[in-house]
Structure formats: C-alpha cells, structure tokens
Structure 1
Amino acid sequence: MNEWMDGWMDGWIDGWMDGWMDGWMDGWMDGTMDGWMDGWMDGWMDGWMDGWMDGWMDGWMDGWMDGWMDGWMD
C-alpha cells in the first residue's frame, strides 16, 4: 500500500474512533435512549467525515511531497 493510502486509512480510523467515542459519551451522558442513539450516530458520522477528510488530505500531501522530492532529487 502506498503512503497516500496509509495516511488516508490512519486518519479515517482515528477520526472515526474519536467521533464514535465522543458521540457515545455525549449520548450516554444525556441519560436517555434517544440521546444515546442520536449522540452515537452524530458522533459516528462526524468522526467518519472528519477522519476521512483529514486522512485523505494528510496522505495525499505526504505522498505528493515525497514523490515530488524523490523525482526532483533523482
């Protein structure tokens, strides 16, 4: 797997887990099943989107810069 994919996956997983945990905790603290489900779903979606975007950008930039530098040095 190339660096672009590595960065994308890392960011996606990190963001997803963070968002999932945040949403789960927020919803759980609300004390109602509705709040728990809403918080969990919101957190999951937010984390997924954030992680996807962050990882995509990070991995893309890293891979692009590395490839550019390698080509330039050669």
Structure 2
Amino acid sequence: LILSVLTIIAFVLMRRLHDSRSGAAMLQGPATAIRPHGQQVLTLVLILGLLVCTLGFHLPIGFVALSAGLLLALVNIK
C-alpha cells in the first residue's frame, strides 16, 4: 500500500514537472469521463483473475502473474 501511494505521488509530481516545462496551462477544463480501451479492460480483468486464482483456488501467485503478463504481452506485441 505504501509503495502504491509513493508511486502515485511520484507520477503526479513528474506530470506537474513535465507540464511546467512544456509551458502548458495549469488550468484545465472540467474533467470528462474517458472510457477505457480494450487493453486496459483486459488488464483489469487479468488482475481480477489473478486475485480469484490466488485467493480462491490457492494457485501460486508467481505462476498466475507470469501467465497474465504473457497474455498481455501477446495481445500487444509491439
């Protein structure tokens, strides 16, 4: 949890630094709802599947995570 929070803070700070360097206006319009595309949906489904397999069926988390990563890599070869 701590690592996740620190990662989010780091990305927010990097984005602010990038926005200030590019001269982009800090004021933005109202936030619009953006629908996730196919690969993002697949990632969320695989994370849910990882949780079900490891917590529900007691499969090794390393094997399940590597399998999910392989599937994601095969979907987006580039």
Normalised by the length of structure 2, the TM-score is 0.37
The structure carrying a bigger helix percent of its residues is 1
